[in-house]
């Protein structure tokens, strides 16, 4: 008989009410357009099985992933035709898989267009590169005969600098508008999370929020309408007393100037709490801020328990993970803070 493992010493709680409210807020901000949802990278690290049902219940109908390997998990909750695979087909096998499950490939190049048409064609999406120079058909390719043969459901482009008041936003908008005159399509989509805040001219038919769904704040004016979704906690696995002159962690970057009590917390860079938090991070307990001492290790951090003398082994502390604040403090992007969470942080509701 196999024994069940004991409970983990890390917690990642997903506030599905906040997630649903964020989608509804973004849908409202999208005006006459409707908001979809980018759920690639396991719903930005917070779990397909938790996030997609909450988004469906909130009213979302369009879902975007990057890899074919992500389709099956999303298709447990939505019709495959509602799923767009942004990387598109690389091989004939990819096309065969798309046809067998019914998910839509995003055509990003003339090569992908030929692959899809050679496989028999059918509904697909298409990406036009208007200035980010990643995936997408070039504007001078959209009038090619191969593109004219595609049955394009959603014609997309992707903004490079929507989180800034950049002239490139207007340039991309104009290029996208020009491209729409050369391609047959049913619907148009340009705005990501930040692009939604740029106004109605950027909304078209469908917007594609990602980060903002999960509590990220891509533009300051969006902050009042977005709630934190991911909440992290970790357990104290040991407390100890330091004497003046004792150092903490690798390379002894912190040395106690007096007697102090510290706690060893079950959290480290393998969990996404990277070494950039060394000496600047804090955990909290009942409103008290407990500074991180010394270097972050793979599986542990050490914190000052001076302000929380009642804490002992087995107690839990909160890891501040409001994305905008955490990004400002750590120098990491809000995207990295979410998608970099390690596998030991298994999301629960």
Query: pLDDT per residue over 178-208, tens digit each?
Result: 999 999 999 999 999 999 999 999 999 999 9
Question: Which entry of 114, 186, 250, 286 is annotated as an active-site residue?
Answer: 250
Say if residues 46 and 347 touch (Cβ distance below 8 Å): yes
Q: Per-residue pLDDT for 347 more than 80?
A: yes
Residue 316 within a domain: yes
Q: Per-residue pLDDT for 14 more than 70?
A: yes
- Are 150 and 65 within one domain? yes
Residue 332 within a domain: no
- Are 66 and 202 within one domain? yes
Give the separation between CA 334 and CA 212, rounded to whole angstroms.
10
- Are 211 and 265 within one domain? no
User: Is 99 one of the catalytic residues?
Assistant: no
For residue 129, the SS3 value is: coil
Question: 293 lies in which domain range?
Answer: 230-320
Query: pLDDT per residue over 219-245, tens digit each?
Result: 999 999 999 999 999 999 999 999 999
Residue 341 within a domain: no
Give the CATH number, domain containing residue 215: 3.20.20.10
- Are 200 and 234 within one domain? no
pLDDT at position 190 is 98
Give the separation between CA 7 and CA 300, rounded to whole angstroms.
17
Give the separation between CA 241 and CA 257, rounded to whole angstroms.
13
User: Is 104 one of the catalytic residues?
Assistant: no
Beta bridge partners of 318: 233, 284
- Are 170 and 284 within one domain? no
The residue from 219, 246, 265 where one domain ends is: 219
- Are 128 and 206 within one domain? yes
Output the pTM of the full model: 0.96
Give the separation between CA 64 and CA 41, rounded to whole angstroms.
10
Q: Kindly give the pairing relationship between strand 230-242 and strand 83-85.
A: unpaired
- Are 125 and 258 within one domain? no
Query: pLDDT per residue over 261-284, tens digit each?
Result: 999 999 999 999 999 999 999 999
Q: For tokens 């020009």, name the residue.
A: 178
Question: Which entry of 40, 202, 214, 335 is annotated as an active-site residue?
Answer: 40
From the list 243, 334, 265, 320, the residue with the least C-alpha distance to 288 is 320
pLDDT at position 1 is 56
Residue 334 within a domain: no
């Amino acid at each position: 008989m196999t024994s069940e493992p004991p409970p983990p010493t890390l917690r990642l709680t997903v506030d599905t009410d906040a997630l649903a409210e964020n989608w509804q807020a973004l849908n409202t901000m999208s005006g006459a357009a409707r908001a979809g949802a980018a759920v690639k990278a396991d719903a930005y690290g917070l779990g397909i099985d938790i996030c997609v049902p909450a988004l469906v219940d909130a009213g979302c109908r369009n879902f975007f992933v990057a890899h074919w390997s992500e389709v099956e998990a999303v298709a447990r909750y939505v019709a495959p035709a509602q799923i767009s695979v942004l990387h598109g087909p690389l091989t004939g096998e990819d096309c065969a898989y798309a046809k067998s499950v019914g998910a839509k490939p995003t055509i990003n190049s003339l090569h992908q267009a030929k692959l899809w048409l050679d496989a028999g064609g059918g509904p697909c999406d298409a990406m036009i590169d208007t200035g980010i120079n990643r995936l997408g058909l070039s504007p001078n390719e959209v009038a090619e005969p191969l593109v004219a043969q595609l049955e394009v459901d959603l014609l997309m482009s992707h903004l490079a600098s929507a989180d800034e008041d950049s002239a490139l936003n207007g340039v991309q908008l104009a290029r996208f508008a020009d491209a729409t005159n050369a391609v047959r399509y049913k619907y148009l989509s340009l705005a990501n999370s930040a692009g939604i805040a740029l106004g109605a001219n950027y909304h078209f038919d469908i917007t594609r929020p990602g980060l903002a769904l999960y509590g990220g704040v891509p533009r300051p004016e969006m902050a009042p309408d977005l709630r934190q979704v991911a909440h992290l906690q970790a357990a104290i696995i040991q407390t100890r007393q330091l004497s003046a002159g004792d150092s903490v962690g690798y390379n002894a970057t912190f040395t106690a100037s007096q007697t102090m009590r510290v706690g060893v917390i079950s959290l480290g860079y393998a969990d996404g709490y990277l070494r950039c938090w060394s000496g600047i991070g804090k955990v909290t307990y009942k409103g008290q801020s407990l500074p991180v001492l010394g270097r972050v290790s793979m599986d542990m951090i050490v914190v000052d328990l001076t302000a929380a003398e009642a804490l002992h082994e087995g107690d839990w502390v909160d890891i501040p993970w409001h994305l905008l604040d955490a990004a400002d403090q750590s120098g990491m992007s809000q995207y990295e803070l979410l998608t970099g969470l390690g596998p030991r942080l298994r999301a629960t509701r």
